[in-house]
A and B are shown apart, each in its own frame.
Chain A
Amino acid sequence: MKVRVDVDACVGAGQCVLAAPDVFDQRDEDGMVVLLVEDPPAELEAATEHAALLCPALAIVVEK
């Protein structure tokens, strides 16, 4: 699995951090998404996919 984030689209909702805290974080200053792991291991794939589905700004793209 490969993960990309679109910081320009991100609204800083933090839903990805709630769904997959090992994969996503937020910048302190403006809450924009920070990708911690570009290729999450198998055990984090489901959570990562859930994060992408939940993102209200469609800022997370997951490629399998």
Chain B
Amino acid sequence: MGDLDRVVVVGASAAGVTTAETLRREGHTAGLVLVGDEKVLPYDRPPLSKQVLAGTWEPERTALRPASAYTDHGIELRLGTPATGLDLARRKVVLSSGEEIGYDGLVIATGTTPRTLPFGHDLGGVHVLRTMDDALALRGDLLRSSSVVVVGAGFLGSEAAAAARRMGLDVTLVDPLPLPLVRQFGDRVATAIAELHEEQGVRLRMGTGVVALHGEGAVSGVELTDGSVLRADIVLVAIGAVPATDWLAGSGVPVDDGVVCDATCKAVDHVYAAGDVARWFNPRFGGLMRVEHRMNATEQGMAVARALLGAPTQFAPTPYFWTDQFDAKIQAHGVFPAEAEMVVAHGSLADRKFVAHYLVDGRVVGVLGWNMARQLLQDRHLITGLA
């Protein structure tokens, strides 16, 4: 590539690591710096709410790459030093250490930070779950406790509820929506997820918000909108995440629920974004899209690396994601808008083994499989626009 003396990748998780590695694999020979806010070697996040929380994996097993991979690839790591500012005119990233790093190409891959309740996070036993430290702290508390209230029944909350239940805790899952994961998958699949959780002994309090956390020093209860109070040794707040873009304030990089990018994932000249933080125009679905899924971090990291190497192409993936809860492995390709009609194409909901198609105007926009991975893959090509 020649004209890029140094690429700086800010954010050392799946998207950032993939970008850096792809740059090296595909010909970038000059400087390459990977900046991360956490001190530990980059690790993978999906196992945090599954194997790490359950204790079946040691934390080391989540490493994205062995330490040697960074030295072998000549990737300079700046860990434990979050970026705090960006000067587009001088092309410099400012780190918390005060260090300024010049770049010819910049990749923003800072991910998201957990959304929090407007109250109660100062109490002991109140957790969020995004980082390894979060996961280990939560697991430590779960091992010492008998009851947990999980606030938020999205992917993270429902997975964590399942993990905690399997650890033998008394678990209550709370969400203002009528069913867990209903926004993601619609009524029928969400009903099946609710039934699965209830069968396994998770108490569901759906259609209910949280108005206060009770306790002195440590949390002892969760007050709901109907006035009832749930006893809780621990509370996990899993109410979504917001793009980590504070460090870009005033920089001139366009930010609106993420770093706004064109179809090649470029935000402004010399600056690209990848992973959870990127909101780019996905030409396959004809709109701006921000995807907080693991697969996207890899694919978008690769795309951004290739764009920096002088081969920008439109990044038009079909999102893929999965969730593991109790014995259910739910996988999905595509998009699942609220207006989509859901049709069971193989198997049956009652057997909890099926593939469903989601249609908008008669066209398949998403396919979902529940314990039916092989059939699901065969149906993936039905999604409109897929080759």
Chain B: which residue is nearest A49 at the CB level? Answer: B25
> Which of B299, B302, B377 has the most C-beta atoms of chain A within 10 angstroms of its own C-beta?
B377
* Pick from A12, A15, A30: contact of B295, CB under 8 Å: A15
* Pick from A12, A26, A28: contact of B322, CB under 8 Å: A12
Chain A: which residue is nearest B302 at the CB level? Answer: A53
Provide the bound-state CA to CA distance between A31 and B353, in Å.
12
A interface footprint on B305-334 (CB within 8 Å = 1, 0 otherwise)? 000000000000000101010000101000
- Interface flag for A1 (CB, 8 Å): no
Provide the bound-state CA to CA distance between A64 and B294, in Å.
26
- The answer to whether A30 touches B46 (Cβ under 8 A) is no
Point out the residues of chain A lying under 8 angstroms from B298, CB to CB: 53-54, 56
Q: Interface size class for chain B?
A: 20 to 34
* Pick from A31, A53, A54: contact of B373, CB under 8 Å: A31
- The answer to whether B329 touches A12 (Cβ under 8 A) is yes
- The answer to whether B374 touches A54 (Cβ under 8 A) is no
Which residues of A from 46 to 64 have beta carbons under 8 Å from B? 53-54, 56-58
Point out the residues of chain B lying under 8 angstroms from A58, CB to CB: 44, 64
- The answer to whether B299 touches A30 (Cβ under 8 A) is no
Question: Closest Cβ of chain B: how far from A30's Cβ, in Å?
Answer: 7
- The answer to whether B64 touches A12 (Cβ under 8 A) is no
Secondary structure class of chain A's binding surface, majority of residues? loop
- The answer to whether B322 touches A11 (Cβ under 8 A) is yes
* Pick from A11, A15, A54, A56: contact of B324, CB under 8 Å: A11
- The answer to whether A31 touches B44 (Cβ under 8 A) is no
Total interface residues on A, CB under 8 Å, equals 17
Which residues of B from 187 to 231 have beta carbons under 8 Å from A? none
Provide the bound-state CA to CA distance between A61 and B46, in Å.
19
- Interface flag for B376 (CB, 8 Å): yes
- The answer to whether A12 touches B44 (Cβ under 8 A) is no
Point out the residues of chain B lying under 8 angstroms from A15, CB to CB: 295, 320
Q: A18-B377, A57-B46, A58-B64 are in contact. Are A13 and B371 (CB under 8 A)?
A: no
Chain B: which residue is nearest A17 at the CB level? Answer: B377
Which residues of A from 14 to 47 have beta carbons under 8 Å from B? 14-15, 17-18, 26-28, 30-31
- The answer to whether B64 touches A26 (Cβ under 8 A) is no
Point out the residues of chain B lying under 8 angstroms from A57, CB to CB: 46
Question: Closest Cβ of chain B: how far from A10's Cβ, in Å?
Answer: 10
Provide the bound-state CA to CA distance between A18 and B383, in Å.
15
Point out the residues of chain B lying under 8 angstroms from A31, CB to CB: 329, 331, 369, 372-374, 376-377
> Which of A17, A27, A31, A54 has the most C-beta atoms of chain B within 10 angstroms of its own C-beta?
A31
- The answer to whether B302 touches A13 (Cβ under 8 A) is no
* Pick from B18, B22, B294, B329: contact of A30, CB under 8 Å: B329
State the A residues within 8 Å of B (CB): 11-15, 17-18, 26-28, 30-31, 53-54, 56-58
8 shortest interchain CB distances as A-B pairs? A31-B373, A14-B377, A12-B373, A56-B294, A56-B295, A26-B374, A28-B374, A11-B322
Identify 28 residue pairs between A and B in the complex whose beta-carbon atoms are under 8 Å apart, listed by A's number.
A11-B46, A11-B329, A12-B329, A13-B295, A13-B320, A14-B373, A14-B376, A14-B377, A15-B295, A17-B377, A18-B377, A18-B380, A28-B374, A30-B371, A30-B373, A31-B331, A31-B374, A31-B377, A53-B18, A53-B21, A53-B22, A53-B302, A54-B295, A54-B298, A56-B294, A56-B295, A56-B298, A58-B44
